[in-house]
Amino acid sequence: LCTTQSAWSERFPIFQSHIDLAQSYWSKLVKSGDIVIDATCGNGHDTLLLARLALTADSGYLYGFDIQKEAIDSTRENLQSQLSLPLLERVFLHQRSHSNLVDALPSGCRPKLIVYNLGYLPGGDKAMTTMLDTTLQSIQQAQALIANGGAISITCYPGHLEGLQEESALMEIVCQLPAATWSCCHHRWLNRKNAPSLLLIQKSLKAE
Q: Does residue 200 bind ligand SAM (CB under 6 A)?
A: no
Q: How many residues bind ligand SAM (CB under 6 A)?
A: 23
What are φ and ψ of residue 85, in 5° steps?
Answer: -55, -45
* 202 contributes a contact to ligand SAM by CB under 6 A: no
Contact set for ligand SAM, span 108-137 (CB under 6 A): 117, 119-121, 128-130, 134
Does 78 contact ligand SAM by CB under 6 A?
Answer: no
* Ranges within 138-167 binding ligand SAM (CB under 6 A): none
Least Å distance between CB 159 and ligand SAM?
12
Please say which residue, 69 or 206, places its beta carbon nearer to ligand SAM: 69
- Which residues partner with 113 through β-bridges? 36, 151
Chain positions contacting ligand SAM, by CB under 6 A:
40-46, 65-68, 71, 97-99, 117, 119-121, 128-130, 134
